[in-house]
Amino acid sequence: MESLVTWFTTNLAPYISRELVVFIISLMPILELRGGLLAASLLQVPMWTAIPICIAGNILPIPFLLLLIKKLFAFLKRFKLTRGFVTYLENRALRKSGKVKNAEFVGLMLFVGIPLPGTGAWTGSLIASLLEIDFKKAIWAELCGVAIACVLMCIISYGLLGLIL
């Protein structure tokens, strides 16, 4: 993830504001808030400026994913070219859904909040949609998870990384 963040910050920062770079990174799957806060730290965006930007970027796709991902996947499965990739994404999400399935709200919140590879709001939204978790419950669980991830990543990006840099 660090190499992706470094690539985006290096290639976007000369052309757009540092804050917009952080927002764009926070919108992206895989990078999300975690990458946004790391980029903000590298671009020397103050933490209190970066937090709302990263949270906004990370939560913006959640309702759309929850409402539309199953329809999009059903559409993409109709085509031989994309069927395998969609099936792979569904299977990968369902493999990671074990704890979420048993404790819907808390499981989804922790899945989104703990900054490990393959977790986050994008995958959490896919899991919530595939498990047909209530929309409002999924939104709140993911918002709480994003808040947890924000606290943890601020400590890592601005605390530990700040000491190194």
133 phi and psi angles, rounded to 5 deg = -70, 140
Interval 39-62: pLDDT, tens: 998 899 999 999 999 999 999 999
Query: CB–CB of 49/57 below 8 Å?
Result: no
Q: What is this structure's pTM?
A: 0.86
pLDDT score at 82? 95
Please, which contacts does 101-104 make with residues 24 or more away whose CB atoms are closer than 8 Å?
101/131, 104/131, 104/133, 104/137, 104/141
Residue 109 vs residues 7, 48, 82, 145: alpha-carbon distances, Å: 29, 23, 30, 4
Residue 149 vs residues 59, 157, 158: alpha-carbon distances, Å: 12, 11, 13
Distance between CA atoms of residues 154 and 62, nearest Å: 21
Q: How does pLDDT run along the chain (165 residues), one tens digit per residue? A: 778 888 888 888 889 999 999 999 999 998 999 999 999 988 999 999 999 999 999 999 999 999 999 999 999 999 999 999 999 999 988 887 877 777 889 999 999 999 888 889 999 999 999 899 999 999 999 999 999 999 999 988 887 655 555
